[in-house]
Chain A
Protein backbone atom coordinates (compact mmCIF):
# COMPACT_ATOMS: atom_id res chain seq x y z
CA UNK A 1 0.00 0.00 0.00
CA UNK A 2 1.89 3.06 -1.27
CA UNK A 3 -0.54 5.72 0.05
CA UNK A 4 -0.05 9.07 -1.67
CA UNK A 5 2.76 9.33 -4.21
CA UNK A 6 4.03 12.66 -5.49
CA UNK A 7 6.51 13.23 -8.28
CA UNK A 8 8.95 14.81 -8.73
CA UNK A 9 10.51 15.45 -5.31
CA UNK A 10 12.55 18.40 -6.54
CA UNK A 11 12.18 20.69 -9.55
CA UNK A 12 13.79 23.88 -10.79
CA UNK A 13 11.92 25.88 -13.43
CA UNK A 14 12.63 29.03 -15.32
CA UNK A 15 10.08 31.82 -15.23
CA UNK A 16 7.42 31.21 -17.85
CA UNK A 17 7.96 27.46 -18.12
CA UNK A 18 5.12 25.06 -17.54
CA UNK A 19 5.07 21.80 -15.67
CA UNK A 20 2.78 19.28 -14.03
CA UNK A 21 3.16 17.96 -10.50
CA UNK A 22 1.84 14.44 -10.29
CA UNK A 23 -0.15 12.97 -7.41
CA UNK A 24 -1.55 9.48 -7.18
CA UNK A 25 -3.26 7.57 -4.37
CA UNK A 26 -4.12 3.90 -4.16
CA UNK A 27 -6.63 4.04 -1.30
CA UNK A 28 -9.72 4.69 -3.44
CA UNK A 29 -10.20 8.04 -1.70
CA UNK A 30 -12.84 10.39 -3.07
CA UNK A 31 -11.25 13.58 -1.79
CA UNK A 32 -7.88 14.89 -2.95
CA UNK A 33 -6.27 18.26 -2.46
CA UNK A 34 -3.16 20.31 -3.15
CA UNK A 35 -1.47 22.59 -0.63
CA UNK A 36 1.53 24.84 -0.80
CA UNK A 37 3.74 25.42 2.22
CA UNK A 38 5.67 28.64 2.59
CA UNK A 39 7.75 29.90 5.54
CA UNK A 40 5.56 31.72 8.03
CA UNK A 41 2.40 30.95 6.04
CA UNK A 42 1.71 27.37 6.95
CA UNK A 43 -0.20 25.11 4.55
CA UNK A 44 -2.58 26.85 2.18
CA UNK A 45 -5.13 25.04 0.04
CA UNK A 46 -4.73 25.52 -3.71
CA UNK A 47 -7.37 23.25 -5.28
CA UNK A 48 -9.37 20.28 -4.21
CA UNK A 49 -11.54 17.55 -5.68
CA UNK A 50 -14.40 15.66 -4.08
CA UNK A 51 -14.45 12.99 -6.78
CA UNK A 52 -13.56 12.17 -10.37
CA UNK A 53 -14.64 14.96 -12.66
CA UNK A 54 -15.19 17.47 -9.84
CA UNK A 55 -12.68 20.13 -8.84
CA UNK A 56 -12.89 23.42 -7.02
CA UNK A 57 -10.69 26.28 -5.91
CA UNK A 58 -9.13 26.64 -2.51
CA UNK A 59 -7.58 29.65 -0.84
CA UNK A 60 -4.77 30.34 -3.35
CA UNK A 61 -5.80 28.98 -6.79
CA UNK A 62 -4.33 31.65 -9.09
CA UNK A 63 -1.66 30.36 -11.47
CA UNK A 64 -2.64 26.71 -11.02
CA UNK A 65 -4.95 24.32 -12.85
CA UNK A 66 -6.14 20.87 -11.84
CA UNK A 67 -8.16 18.06 -13.31
CA UNK A 68 -9.48 14.78 -11.92
CA UNK A 69 -10.13 12.30 -14.69
CA UNK A 70 -9.70 9.26 -12.43
CA UNK A 71 -10.17 8.59 -8.73
CA UNK A 72 -6.47 7.81 -8.36
CA UNK A 73 -4.81 10.82 -9.98
CA UNK A 74 -4.93 14.53 -9.25
CA UNK A 75 -2.24 16.46 -11.18
CA UNK A 76 -1.44 20.11 -10.52
CA UNK A 77 -0.42 22.22 -13.52
CA UNK A 78 1.60 25.40 -13.54
CA UNK A 79 0.97 26.97 -16.96
CA UNK A 80 3.51 29.79 -16.71
CA UNK A 81 5.71 29.52 -13.65
CA UNK A 82 6.50 32.64 -11.63
CA UNK A 83 9.06 33.13 -8.82
CA UNK A 84 6.12 33.60 -6.41
CA UNK A 85 5.29 29.94 -6.99
CA UNK A 86 8.54 28.82 -5.40
CA UNK A 87 7.28 26.65 -2.58
CA UNK A 88 6.88 23.14 -1.25
CA UNK A 89 3.76 21.47 -2.63
CA UNK A 90 1.85 18.72 -0.87
CA UNK A 91 -0.86 16.49 -2.20
CA UNK A 92 -3.28 14.98 0.30
CA UNK A 93 -6.17 12.56 0.14
CA UNK A 94 -9.00 11.59 2.46
CA UNK A 95 -11.72 8.98 2.19
CA UNK A 96 -14.21 11.80 1.70
CA UNK A 97 -14.45 15.47 2.56
CA UNK A 98 -17.29 15.46 5.03
CA UNK A 99 -16.32 12.65 7.36
CA UNK A 100 -14.94 13.97 10.60
CA UNK A 101 -13.29 10.59 11.06
CA UNK A 102 -11.29 10.74 7.86
CA UNK A 103 -7.56 11.11 8.35
CA UNK A 104 -5.73 13.03 5.65
CA UNK A 105 -2.78 11.24 4.08
CA UNK A 106 -0.02 13.37 2.65
CA UNK A 107 2.55 12.81 -0.05
CA UNK A 108 6.24 13.48 0.55
CA UNK A 109 6.10 16.88 -1.08
CA UNK A 110 7.58 18.52 -4.16
CA UNK A 111 10.14 21.26 -3.59
CA UNK A 112 9.77 23.69 -6.50
CA UNK A 113 12.09 26.58 -7.27
CA UNK A 114 11.27 29.08 -10.00
CA UNK A 115 14.20 31.22 -11.13
Chain B
Protein backbone atom coordinates (compact mmCIF):
# COMPACT_ATOMS: atom_id res chain seq x y z
CA UNK B 1 0.00 0.00 0.00
CA UNK B 2 1.03 3.56 -0.55
CA UNK B 3 2.45 5.62 2.30
CA UNK B 4 3.13 9.30 2.79
CA UNK B 5 6.00 10.34 5.01
CA UNK B 6 6.10 13.88 6.35
CA UNK B 7 9.12 15.64 7.77
CA UNK B 8 9.73 17.07 10.20
CA UNK B 9 7.21 15.64 12.67
CA UNK B 10 7.22 18.89 14.60
CA UNK B 11 8.69 22.32 14.16
CA UNK B 12 9.08 25.36 16.39
CA UNK B 13 10.03 28.59 14.65
CA UNK B 14 10.34 32.23 15.65
CA UNK B 15 7.76 34.55 14.19
CA UNK B 16 8.99 36.00 10.92
CA UNK B 17 11.14 33.02 9.99
CA UNK B 18 10.66 30.88 6.90
CA UNK B 19 10.07 27.14 7.08
CA UNK B 20 9.57 24.11 4.85
CA UNK B 21 7.60 20.90 5.38
CA UNK B 22 8.16 17.90 3.14
CA UNK B 23 5.89 15.07 2.07
CA UNK B 24 7.33 12.03 0.31
CA UNK B 25 5.27 9.26 -1.25
CA UNK B 26 6.29 5.60 -1.49
CA UNK B 27 4.52 5.33 -4.85
CA UNK B 28 3.55 7.47 -7.82
CA UNK B 29 1.53 10.52 -6.85
CA UNK B 30 -1.87 11.12 -8.44
CA UNK B 31 -2.69 14.50 -6.98
CA UNK B 32 -1.25 15.88 -3.75
CA UNK B 33 -3.31 17.81 -1.22
CA UNK B 34 -2.24 20.00 1.66
CA UNK B 35 -4.50 20.56 4.65
CA UNK B 36 -4.16 22.51 7.88
CA UNK B 37 -5.73 21.48 11.16
CA UNK B 38 -6.12 23.46 14.34
CA UNK B 39 -6.67 21.68 17.63
CA UNK B 40 -10.25 20.52 18.03
CA UNK B 41 -11.19 21.46 14.50
CA UNK B 42 -11.55 19.82 11.16
CA UNK B 43 -9.17 19.93 8.23
CA UNK B 44 -8.97 23.08 6.17
CA UNK B 45 -8.03 22.65 2.53
CA UNK B 46 -4.99 24.71 1.53
CA UNK B 47 -4.19 23.64 -2.00
CA UNK B 48 -3.93 20.78 -4.42
CA UNK B 49 -1.14 19.97 -6.87
CA UNK B 50 -1.60 17.77 -9.87
CA UNK B 51 1.33 17.91 -12.19
CA UNK B 52 5.05 17.60 -11.75
CA UNK B 53 6.69 20.98 -11.39
CA UNK B 54 3.41 22.61 -10.41
CA UNK B 55 3.64 25.35 -7.82
CA UNK B 56 0.75 27.07 -6.07
CA UNK B 57 0.59 29.86 -3.55
CA UNK B 58 -1.98 31.04 -1.06
CA UNK B 59 -1.05 34.16 0.87
CA UNK B 60 2.37 33.33 2.34
CA UNK B 61 2.17 29.57 1.77
CA UNK B 62 3.67 27.99 -1.34
CA UNK B 63 3.52 24.33 -2.30
CA UNK B 64 5.49 22.54 -5.02
CA UNK B 65 5.25 19.08 -6.52
CA UNK B 66 8.29 17.15 -7.72
CA UNK B 67 6.82 14.21 -9.60
CA UNK B 68 10.16 12.48 -10.21
CA UNK B 69 11.03 12.50 -6.52
CA UNK B 70 7.41 11.67 -5.60
CA UNK B 71 7.62 14.55 -3.19
CA UNK B 72 5.90 17.79 -2.32
CA UNK B 73 7.13 20.66 -0.19
CA UNK B 74 5.15 23.32 1.66
CA UNK B 75 6.97 26.57 2.30
CA UNK B 76 5.79 29.31 4.62
CA UNK B 77 7.40 32.72 4.28
CA UNK B 78 7.64 35.10 7.24
CA UNK B 79 5.70 32.84 9.60
CA UNK B 80 3.03 34.26 11.90
CA UNK B 81 1.30 32.84 14.99
CA UNK B 82 -1.77 32.28 12.81
CA UNK B 83 0.23 29.68 10.83
CA UNK B 84 0.50 27.43 13.88
CA UNK B 85 -1.28 24.09 13.60
CA UNK B 86 -0.87 20.64 12.13
CA UNK B 87 -0.15 20.40 8.42
CA UNK B 88 -1.20 17.24 6.66
CA UNK B 89 -0.42 16.09 3.17
CA UNK B 90 -2.82 13.77 1.40
CA UNK B 91 -2.73 11.89 -1.88
CA UNK B 92 -5.02 9.79 -4.01
CA UNK B 93 -4.01 6.19 -3.62
CA UNK B 94 -3.19 4.64 -6.96
CA UNK B 95 -3.69 1.11 -8.21
CA UNK B 96 -5.89 -1.80 -7.15
CA UNK B 97 -9.29 -1.68 -5.51
CA UNK B 98 -8.39 1.21 -3.26
CA UNK B 99 -7.56 3.49 -6.16
CA UNK B 100 -8.83 6.97 -5.59
CA UNK B 101 -9.11 6.84 -1.79
CA UNK B 102 -7.24 9.60 -0.03
CA UNK B 103 -4.38 8.63 2.23
CA UNK B 104 -2.59 11.01 4.57
CA UNK B 105 0.76 11.58 6.15
CA UNK B 106 1.04 11.65 9.93
CA UNK B 107 1.21 15.42 10.01
CA UNK B 108 3.70 18.11 10.95
CA UNK B 109 2.98 20.11 14.08
CA UNK B 110 4.03 23.73 13.65
CA UNK B 111 4.43 26.14 16.56
CA UNK B 112 5.28 29.79 15.94
CA UNK B 113 6.82 31.74 18.82
CA UNK B 114 5.85 35.41 18.97
Q: Is A98 a contact partner of B106 (Cβ separation < 8 A)?
A: no
Residues of A within 8 A of B31 (CB): 100-101
- Mark out the residues of chain B between 74 and 112 whose CB falls within 8 Å of any chain A CB in the assembled complex: 88, 90, 92, 97-107
- Mark out the residues of chain B between 33 and 63 whose CB falls within 8 Å of any chain A CB in the assembled complex: 33, 35, 40-43, 45, 48, 50
Q: In the assembly, what is the distance between CA of A55 and CA of B25, in Å?
A: 27
Q: Is B102 a contact partner of A100 (Cβ separation < 8 A)?
A: no
Q: In the complex where A100-B30, A105-B45, A108-B42 touch, is A41 in contact with B100 (Cβ < 8 A)?
A: no
| A41 → chain B closest CB, angstroms | 7
In the complex formed, the residue of A with least CB distance to B3 is A42
Instruction: Determine which residue in A42, A58, A100, A108 has the highest number of CB atoms from chain B within 10 A of its CB, and name it.
Output: A42
Partner of B92, one of A4, A90, A100, A108: A100
Q: Is A42 a contact partner of B104 (Cβ separation < 8 A)?
A: yes
Q: Is A41 a contact partner of B48 (Cβ separation < 8 A)?
A: no
- Mark out the residues of chain A between 69 and 102 whose CB falls within 8 Å of any chain B CB in the assembled complex: 90, 92, 94, 97-98, 100-101
List residues of A whose CB falls within 8 A of some B CB. 4, 31, 33, 35, 40-43, 45, 48, 56, 58-59, 90, 92, 94, 97-98, 100-101, 103-109, 111
Q: List 20 A-B contacts (CB under 8 A).
A: A35-B104, A40-B106, A43-B90, A43-B104, A58-B98, A58-B101, A90-B42, A90-B43, A94-B102, A100-B30, A101-B31, A103-B33, A104-B33, A104-B43, A104-B45, A104-B90, A104-B102, A106-B43, A109-B41, A111-B40
